[in-house]
Amino acid sequence: MTKRLLVVGGVAAGASAAAKARRTNEDVEIVIYEKGPYVSYGNCGIPYYIGGEIPSRDDLFLVTEQRFWDRLRIDVRVNHEVTEIKPDQSTVQVAGPDGSFEDHYDRLILATGAVPLRPPIPGIDSRGIHTLWTIPDGDAILDMVKTLSKDDPVCVVGGGFIGLEIAENLHRRGFQITLVEKMDQVMPPLDREMAYFASEHMRSKGIRVILSDGVSSFEGRDGTVESVVLESGEEIAAALVVLSIGVRPETSLAEKAQLHIGPNNGVEVDSYMRTSDPHIYAAGDMVETNHCSGRCPVRIPLAGPANKQGSIAGHNAAADLHPEEPAKEAFRGVLGTSIVRVFDLTVAATGLNERAAAALDYAVQVSHTISGHHADYYPGAQDMIIKLIADANSGRLLGGQAVGFAGVDKRIDVLATALMADMTPYDLEQLDLAYAPPYSAAKDPIIVAGMVAANVMRGQYRLLTLDDLEDGLDGCQIIDVRRPDEFEQGHLPGAVNYPIDEFRSHIGALDDQKPILLYCAVGQRAYTAYRILQNHGFSNLYSLSGGYELWSGTLGDSGRSENG
């Protein structure tokens, strides 16, 4: 009898699982049960569709139901919700438009994804408050948008990547945007000093960004939202609220079926994407997998991993049902690599951030470097900042973050590749990356980041971070080695200006009994000064990680002509 493979959920992981299952096994029956009205769409594109950058709603649909059947003999049933799994009978209960029925499976793949959080804040059920996750969510927001006037106030709650994307896209439509975030930063995958550039850039474009403040209630009239009241007491007018404060895994079916749930509330799977029931696989936003650099279980709802996991689950489930038993495939894990465009800025992260690495008790080493995204002598070079997080004990890179105007996506993908290979800063500084003036520099920003982190790791260079600075610098001699004109435009409190090109003449004025903090615009001149002092026997030396540009939160090109 023909074997039957059921897939529950058909958006990202589910669609990917079904397609791969068919390619592995032509003889199995494959059915996708999708609770919602659509399968296989690009939900990461919805904010851009709302903003008008993606002109047609049709563009968002990747594979139609018809094509699933014609090309892949996959039977897609939208508006069909699986309401229960009975693992002991190998059946599911399905509620469809024509009533409820039971279906049998030989293998089941769960891809029910995640659902946006909607905490029980007073007034949250008012009209005009929307989450943004599915096509119907996008349709509802766009319907609402069409009823609003330009300059109407819109409040986006939550500063993760969806919040940032929808804030930008609604700003593009002309609304007055306020973004509210409970944490003291946007973009939680990044550390605060890096995310700062994103929130400042949004502010510079006219978006009001409120940090460290949560929503206490939604107020309105006749059940329609009119304002958002914050924990601070402030009231923000809002004709539309987009709530993007995170998602929770949709595990209710899995829980009822008594599948194991992991420490992060996702369904536990092995590397073959198999749940605790050997006939049931799971993939996508609902599962926990291995964090490749953190080496711990994590649940990271992102499309890239969901696709890979779906494909692997689909292959393995279909391989189970294949008479020739093809070899299984194993999922390696995730790094949580993520990227967001914030107007003309790009903000990206991979692996562990500093907070997460510290929470896992790694001996955290961080470094920040700033360099032009291509050769400085070629017109248009723009500064980019890279943060590396490494384990000082093993040398292994744990994570990386990058912010800048061009070429950030390239550097974060290089770092993601380096993390997958367990590379160290010593590996990074030796990468043979492609150099031609329009693309890069002879010392690519990644090479520069690797060199500095490697110097720190060798014990030849000590960096202070902005957090260290906040802890105070009692008795520290702060030396700014930039040019006098740069110094006059702004400098660290208490800093003395010894420009690098006359630095040696000031050495006698320095007290080698007290700590010395050196800085310049981006760190290159400070490094030279550091080495000069080190060679003169000074040992109580520090350089400011990321230099004045990070401290002041302003990426520029101030350091570049000086960096030879």
Q: By CB under 8 A, what part of segment 376-435 binds a copy of itself?
A: 376-379, 407, 409-410, 412-414, 416-418, 420-421, 423, 427, 429-435
Helix (H) or strand (E) holding 96: strand 91-96
Q: How near is the Cβ of 258 to a copy of itself at its closest, in Å?
A: 30
Q: What angle do CA 549, 555, 560 make, to 5 degrees?
A: 80
Q: Which is nearer to a copy of itself, 39 or 155 (CB)?
A: 39
- Report the residue from 337, 424, 465, 545 that binds a copy of itself according to the rule CB under 8 A: 337
Q: Which is nearer to a copy of itself, 21 or 517 (CB)?
A: 21
Active site residues: 44
Q: For residue 564, what are the contacts with CB-CB under 8 A and spacing of at least 6?
A: none
Radius of gyration of the chain (CA): 27
Question: Looking only at residues 160 through 219 of this chain, which bind a copy of itself when binding is defined by CB under 8 A?
Answer: 161, 165
- Report the residue from 120, 233, 438, 493 that binds a copy of itself according to the rule CB under 8 A: 438
- Report the residue from 176, 178, 307, 371 that binds a copy of itself according to the rule CB under 8 A: 307
State the Cα–Cα distance between residues 487 and 499, nearest whole angstrom.
9
What are the backbone angles phi and psi of residue 139, rounded to the nearest 5°?
-60, -45
Choices 63-71, 171-179, 227-235, 549-557; region in contact with a copy of itself by CB under 8 A: 63-71
Structure tokens at 256: 């009822």
Q: Which is nearer to a copy of itself, 91 or 417 (CB)?
A: 417
Question: Looking only at residues 226 through 245 of this chain, which bind a copy of itself when binding is defined by CB under 8 A?
Answer: none
Q: How is residue 327 annotated by DSSP? A: P
Choices 100-108, 225-233, 304-312, 515-523; region in contact with a copy of itself by CB under 8 A: 304-312
CB count, 10 Å around CB of 284?
A: 33
Helix (H), strand (E) counts: the chain? 16, 31
Q: Which is nearer to a copy of itself, 99 or 537 (CB)?
A: 537
Residue 162's alpha-carbon distances to 96, 132, 157, 212, 383, in angstroms, are 31, 8, 10, 18, 25
Q: 3-class DSSP state for residue 275?
A: coil
Question: Looking only at residues 256 through 295 of this chain, which bind a copy of itself when binding is defined by CB under 8 A?
Answer: 292
Q: Which is nearer to a copy of itself, 105 or 503 (CB)?
A: 503
Helix (H) or strand (E) holding 108: strand 107-110
Q: How near is the Cβ of 190 to a copy of itself at its closest, in Å?
A: 13
The answer to whether 305 contacts a copy of itself (rule: CB under 8 A) is yes
User: How many binding residues for a copy of itself (CB under 8 A)?
Assistant: 100
Question: Looking only at residues 20 through 39 of this chain, which bind a copy of itself when binding is defined by CB under 8 A?
Answer: 22-27
Choices 18-26, 112-120, 228-236, 252-260; region in contact with a copy of itself by CB under 8 A: 18-26
Structure tokens at 503: 């630095």
- Do residues 320 and 107 make contact, with C-beta atoms less than 8 angstroms apart? yes
Question: Looking only at residues 477 through 516 of this chain, which bind a copy of itself when binding is defined by CB under 8 A?
Answer: 500-502, 504
State the Cα–Cα distance between residues 49 and 27, nearest whole angstrom.
38
Q: How near is the Cβ of 511 to a copy of itself at its closest, in Å?
A: 19
Q: How near is the Cβ of 349 to a copy of itself at its closest, in Å?
A: 8
Q: How near is the Cβ of 61 to a copy of itself at its closest, in Å?
A: 8
- Report the residue from 36, 531, 551, 552 that binds a copy of itself according to the rule CB under 8 A: 531
**Which residues share a beta bridge with 387?**
368, 401
Helix (H) or strand (E) holding 148: none
Q: Which is nearer to a copy of itself, 1 or 327 (CB)?
A: 327
Q: For residue 463, what are the contacts with CB-CB under 8 A and spacing of at least 6?
A: 366, 367, 368, 452, 456, 542, 543, 544, 545
- Report the residue from 88, 149, 222, 442 that binds a copy of itself according to the rule CB under 8 A: 442
Q: How near is the Cβ of 383 to a copy of itself at its closest, in Å?
A: 17
Q: How near is the Cβ of 223 to a copy of itself at its closest, in Å?
A: 35
Q: How near is the Cβ of 331 to a copy of itself at its closest, in Å?
A: 7
Residue 520's alpha-carbon distances to 191, 506, 552, in angstroms, are 22, 16, 12
Q: How near is the Cβ of 125 to a copy of itself at its closest, in Å?
A: 31
Strands 74-78 and 81-86, by their bridges, are unpaired
Q: Provide the sign of the torsion angle of the four alpha carbons 9, 13, 15, 20, taken in this order.
A: negative
- Report the residue from 226, 285, 444, 549 that binds a copy of itself according to the rule CB under 8 A: 444
Name the residue among 427, 358, 422 with its Cα closest to residue 396: 422
- Do residues 492 and 548 make contact, with C-beta atoms less than 8 angstroms apart? yes
